[in-house]
Amino acid sequence: MAEPLNPDQFQLYNQVQQELNYLQTFDTDLSNITLVSKMEDWYMNNSGLFIMSQAKTKKKR
């Protein structure tokens, strides 16, 4: 994630985001699902795709 997503990665991100949104239907009562990759240092949720090490730095300030 040091570089911007290439077109294939962006398409995959959109597909995963759509699946996460599908899981958050009225039937499940889920409002925000977070998908985490500790090995690759990223997470994604309803707000977007983030680098975990950068998110930790922002919270400490």
Distance CA 23, CA 32 (A): 9
Q: Which two tokens stand for residue 26?
A: 């009225």
Structure confidence by residue, pLDDT tens digits, 22-60:
888 878 888 889 999 999 999 999 999 999 998 766 655
pLDDT digits (tens, 9 = 90+) for 17-32: 999 988 888 788 888 8
Residue 61 has pLDDT above 50, yes or no: no
Residues of 23-56 as b/e, b for ≥16 C-beta within 10 angstroms? eeeeeeeeeeeeeeeeeeebbbeeeebbeeeeee
Structure tokens at 13: 């991100």
Tokens coding 49 = 């795709």
**Cα radius of gyration rounded to whole Å, the chain:** 13
pLDDT > 70: percent of the chain: 87
Mean pLDDT of 5-9: 92
